Structure 1
């Protein structure tokens, strides 16, 4: 069964590395922000000594990129406002990094009842008015390698977590440091040497006191930066930052529905309590992404879906107690390049579509396999997104370089081991676009977007959650909160 294509619209002039869904003007209807930026705006992305990765470059491979554009679009694809100017074309280095889905934060940050937009632009933390794009405040940062901006709610007002997520400047280890700002963009705390720091911080109220705590790596902090605990068994004296947290999620999958935290930790999967006690652990190759949900097939049931990158992407399903339920090795599907095996690695290899199966259980949507596909616990596809037809797809983007120029850049080591331009990767956002209580799915590449309505839940049977929030790979925000 296929999802219904509701509409498609062009992104010419607003190339879309990543999309962010929010009610920007507080009219009860969602808008979409499209971000165009070089990499994740940092001077060092992966390993030192690899020039191509040390800074975002232009098409020549030699000149530092300085462009940045954030575009607000209504559900029909009409531009509402833009911050910055878009580039005329987009190349692969703009899509690199683990955290592009966390680079923009939309929330009522200053407590005025309206939506604000917070983001990092090079070495500045910027706060915009959601409805107009007007700059409300901005403050300088001590480096240009911060990528993550996430909110934390406290009884004293919102906090903003601003975090590095890749190689850092000395003396910081991988994915350090992190900064905490108040709603006026005053620096509250600076955190460093966080064990497991990684790419996937969270903010949630762990103890029911009305203040959200901040989870970074294997550690928990108050919203003012005081460390509460470190996951049992994690020793900073022996910590290897290659074993950082690629993704963590929290949900009621413990015994009797108790809250548990699951960590995809580069080599190990850990499950712990909200107090930092280790419940179980398992070595799993290179676990990268994890979902918490209700996955069912026949009489079997699982609570965790974990993507591990072995020779290929492998999808594991576990019960909350650590019992393995099923393993899938879904094949890739590249409409524009059938011979392709693997695409650009993202921070969202898996997303959840709540109640996307005929029996009401949750479906998993794959992202790092090219065109998104949908699976249940048994490996069946409950529905599919019909790929765009010839002439409809915008994935064949034009590159300003010739094939010979591409090859020259590769020979010089500026793009080791991969094409300079990635044409076949797609982003995904899941949200209620029309207000009927059922989630739609927005799929986009750099030039075009498609909005689909899946067949499940059935018409007239909306998702059971009181308010369906946008779903990203960094969390199932449809969970009751």
Structure 2
């Protein structure tokens, strides 16, 4: 009986103000590694779709009204979507057997546009949906790139009428209704539970979204949710929780994720160098460092170059900036290697004074450049995009310098800034990975889909034609292999695993793979686990794979900026995955996706997050910051422990927003 059902969700959108559903007007890459959340009321909904091509085109969703009735309206047209489905998502991942209904009106019925409801939604690439499309009612299943029609029937909808779409899903049985009339039915066991959502690929209006469960289903849902919450609480009791160690005031020289870490010679104390920038020509394509500030961990300024600014535009950037901190001349003191104003400079880490400098290389071969704004390079000399410290010449440690432009060319220098070689790879991705692969004492370079020898000679190129590498990790991921594996997040090309000879081992098309990390996330399994998250298109999907690339777990985060860095929090050889500083949706998860460490609601910044051992006990601290302040958290039981296992992690001499993070333990 209808009156016996439990009303779990009743959304009329009456609490929403007229206007835009919150969105980033720039449709920018900020969310790739910043927890950047546009202001505004969202209620119980979130938008999992972001696309750079919508810059300047306004919001995807707006709240409209007629005669006191409010509607959530999708505003984009099919030709602008690039195969994306605009969506708004709500509900609980533990909803299992339920009925969901919505009033929907298609403001355009052009083929092949659709409008309807999603249910048992895992993430934006995996769900069921009941849709109006092509003058039919379709019950479909979406699984990554595949869309399967489970059932359909003819239905002559029009643009003037609101229709009541309803789905009942109980076990494997799914029934679709229109205006309370049964229309389609199917049996499928792929997804047993999940959230709900609304979707349309041409303008359409939605209202009166209701989710109902019978009492037993509601009881089962509450029990499943309670069990998960209790497991998380128990695990949080087992894991040390964060304790605020220090707050640092950045005054007017702060920035987003443009910080590098080094060591002072006295007592090996750490310091940080913060870079602000100015944008030139086109968005973030040619950013130039405008101010460098070195401070200690008490916030004292050691030195500063350039003029600091309080403008967010000088602090917020969706790209790397070219600077690193490393003892590059073997004098026992870290230097700062920086490219600024068309010069490559080596600065004294203690004073900021220039020790050596050269002009940036001239920008030749401009007809062979990848993804240049307006098809024309803007300057005679190269605007350096990023820097990598490597060991190309066989020294006892990395002191050679590789610089690159945005997407095409590399130049390698020794520590005296003498040119070693240059390479035009056409598509070099964002950040290089270097490692001595052939055991000759000199590092090879993986850049884009290419492997270069230490002398810049091209050894092989992966057979991938489009997009670019966002992040790369090389390491002993699979213990059953006798060599390292190369793991790459390759944008729309997904997750790619390769051997050292350029043979693809496994590939998953999982959306736009943006970030990647490797760690001991599941100590119960052999080898190391691979974590990947998405951004462009359907953002915030987090996947965890085993050492062979088999999927273990997947879920979707309702907030961006999940950096998925491995954290040595407990010091016992197991790694946690750092998401963000968000109080509700951030924290650290284990390899099962359980939130085992949460951050206190103490007003800390959530824009940026990272992990590094600051206190010196071998375990990582968590750094949360924005352009104004940094909060540093250590463990509840912090103290020097002799039995702490310290993994091999990414060296601080190579900071980047596009480095695949890793945590490998000696076995």
* TM-score bin (small chain): 0.7 to 0.9
Distance between the aligned counterparts of 1:214 and 1:91, measured in 2? 35
Cα deviation 1:177-199 (Å, max 9, x = unaligned): 221112111222221134x4111
TM-aligned CA deviation for residue 248 of structure 1: 0.9
**Match in the other structure for 1:118:** 337
- Match among 417, 420, 439 for residue 188 of structure 1: 420
- Match among 32, 43, 49 for residue 272 of structure 2: 32
1:25-64 paired onto structure 2 within 5 Å: 25=265, 27-39=267-279, 43-45=281-283
**Match in the other structure for 2:621:** 440
Q: Is the 8 A contact 1:259 1:274 kept in 2?
A: yes
Instruction: Verify: 1:128 aligned to 2:309, yes or no.
Output: no
Distance between the aligned counterparts of 1:190 and 1:368, measured in 2? 40
**Match in the other structure for 1:177:** 409
Instruction: Verify: 1:245 aligned to 2:464, yes or no.
Output: no
TM-aligned CA deviation for residue 478 of structure 1: 5.5
Instruction: Verify: 1:91 aligned to 2:312, yes or no.
Output: yes
Distance between the aligned counterparts of 1:361 and 1:479, measured in 2? 10
Worse overlay, 222-231 or 259-268 = 222-231
**Match in the other structure for 1:63:** none
Q: Is the 8 A contact 2:565 2:578 kept in 1?
A: yes
**Match in the other structure for 1:160:** 401
Distance between the aligned counterparts of 2:436 and 2:338, measured in 1? 23
Q: Secondary structure at the match of 1:245?
A: coil
**Match in the other structure for 1:406:** none
**Match in the other structure for 2:198:** none
Distance between the aligned counterparts of 1:225 and 1:277, measured in 2? 20
Distance between the aligned counterparts of 2:590 and 2:662, measured in 1? 20
Judging changes above 3 Å, is the alpha-carbon distance between structure 1 residues 296 and 322 closer, same or farther for their aligned structure 2 residues? same
Judging changes above 3 Å, is the alpha-carbon distance between structure 1 residues 256 and 151 closer, same or farther for their aligned structure 2 residues? same
Q: Secondary structure at the match of 1:382?
A: strand
1:402-413 paired onto structure 2 within 5 Å: none
TM-aligned CA deviation for residue 367 of structure 1: 4.0
Distance between the aligned counterparts of 1:259 and 1:163, measured in 2? 25
TM-aligned CA deviation for residue 455 of structure 1: 4.4
Q: Secondary structure at the match of 1:125?
A: strand
**Match in the other structure for 1:71:** 293
Taking structure 2 as the reference length, the TM-score comes to 0.55
Instruction: Verify: 1:451 aligned to 2:627, yes or no.
Output: no
Larger Cα-atom Rg: 2
Q: Secondary structure at the match of 2:480?
A: helix
- Match among 596, 602, 605 for residue 388 of structure 1: 602
**Match in the other structure for 1:262:** 487
- Match among 579, 593, 599 for residue 379 of structure 1: 593
Worse overlay, 91-100 or 185-194 = 91-100
Q: Is the 8 A contact 1:272 1:280 kept in 2?
A: yes
RMSD value over aligned CA atoms? 3.0
Judging changes above 3 Å, is the alpha-carbon distance between structure 1 residues 223 and 318 closer, same or farther for their aligned structure 2 residues? same
**Match in the other structure for 1:147:** 385
Q: Is the 8 A contact 2:435 2:443 kept in 1?
A: yes
Q: Is the 8 A contact 2:265 2:332 kept in 1?
A: no
Cα deviation 1:2-23 (Å, max 9, x = unaligned): 3000111211032223221111
Q: Which has the higher strand share?
A: 2
Q: Secondary structure at the match of 2:278?
A: coil
TM-aligned CA deviation for residue 219 of structure 1: 0.8
Instruction: Verify: 1:80 aligned to 2:302, yes or no.
Output: yes
Judging changes above 3 Å, is the alpha-carbon distance between structure 1 residues 349 and 303 closer, same or farther for their aligned structure 2 residues? same
**Greater RCO between the two (CA within 8 Å, min separation 6)?**
1
**Match in the other structure for 2:13:** none
